[in-house]
Amino acid sequence: MAVPPPEFNAAPSLVGSFPHATAAPLVDDLLRRFHQLPAWPQLPARDWRESMYVQYSEGLPGAVIDGEGQRIYFQSGPAFEPALEEFYQAVVEEQVDRFAVSPDYALGLHLFLEKLRQAEPDAHRWVKGQVTGPFSFAMTVTDESKRSLAYSPELREVATQGMAMKARWMARRLREVARDALVVLDEPYLCSFGSAFVNVSREDVISALDVAIDAVHAEGALAGIHCCGNTDWSLVFSTKVDVVNFDAFACFQGIPLYPDHLRSFLDRGGILSWGIVPASGSGDNLDPATLLQMLDDRIGQLAAKGMDRDRLYRQAILTPSCGIGSQSVDDANRVVDALVGLSALVRERERLEC
């Protein structure tokens, strides 16, 4: 781990996207409500360039960002080779600022950083950010022939190194405004790993993830992986990851299938980030007391497999099951209210430190 293993004690945090079209009031509200692990909001409704597969493509060699057609793809051509050479020179020389994400692509991030610079020293020990993971980026984004970058060795490496350096830049910026930072790799495509539609080896996926994790660790930050569906969790736990964020509301059943991998992860200080609050904003599912019963049941299932119950609560973060950018603003607010309420119930009952 990059820093001593923390005990987040069921602190609430966020996954990424919000439906809001303006950034400043939302950033203020999040910093007011999330004290231990605030996260900056992605705002795809504000600007299409804040969509997760566009947001971190800025400046990558061959990237074409078609705002009118709302499409991103990579293409070769006369300018590609010199751009590729410059890209690799920046990677080798660790020119981290070369991989900056500008305000046009992440206004919420830049306002978040600005507000934290103005805060009292140590007002927030921990902060959280997110970057699209290298596997999902390579599987989802295509070249001009609509072939996934993952199936072009040259472009797959651009995706791997590009997302790693974006994550490193993110970690560096966050650690300028807080003592410690967590950068999470969004990896929704891990849900498809192992299917007939993904011809990428387990070793290649782990290697790509570890490149990004190592980049985050190089800045003294923790690295997480978020997957909002079922996957081969033994693959995730086999990486160098520090925090695993999963959909504990609808897709918990996969986690207990890997007790040995999970136990090893917890033994080395790993944090489970429980996406226990449904991102759908459905009123019937957002009662904190009901969510507490659900969390207790799931932790009980892991305790029955030999894991320490108290440690599971200490080495825990609570989040929505996924980003809430596709919800209405009112429903997103309800999700946040339920999350904060649930965390307060857990902490009060378990007498965990805030």
Q: What is the pLDDT of residues 330-342, one digit of tens each?
A: 999 999 999 999 9
What is the rounded average pLDDT of the residues 294-316? 97
CB distance 176 to 214 below 8 Å:
no
- Amino acid letter for position 304: A
Identify the pLDDT of residue 272. Answer: 98
**pLDDT (tens digit per residue) in 85-94:** 999 999 999 9
Report the distance separating Cα 297 and Cα 248, nearest Å: 11
Identify the pLDDT of residue 42. Answer: 97
Burial label, 156 (beta-carbon count in 10 A; 0-12, 13-18, 19+): buried
DSSP 3-state percent helix, strand, coil across the chain (nearest 5): 45, 15, 40
> What ranges do the domains of the chain cover?
11-350
**pLDDT (tens digit per residue) in 162-217:** 999 999 999 999 999 999 999 999 999 999 987 777 889 999 999 999 999 999 99
**pLDDT (tens digit per residue) in 63-117:** 999 999 999 999 988 889 999 999 999 999 999 999 999 999 999 999 999 999 9
Identify the pLDDT of residue 308. Answer: 96
Report the distance separating Cα 354 and Cα 352, nearest Å: 7
Q: Which residues of 211-250 are buried (b: 16+ CB within 10 A; e: fewer)?
A: bbbebbbbbebbbbbbbbbbbbbebbbbbbbbbbbbbbbb
User: What band does 6 get if pLDDT is binned at 50, 70 and 90?
Assistant: confident
Q: Is the pTM of this model over 0.75?
A: yes
Pick the CATH number of 11-350 from 3.20.20.210, 3.40.920.10, 1.10.3720.10, 3.40.190.10: 3.20.20.210
Bridge partner residues of 320 (DSSP) = 277
Side by side, the strands of the sheet bearing 71-74 are 63-66, 71-74, 142-143
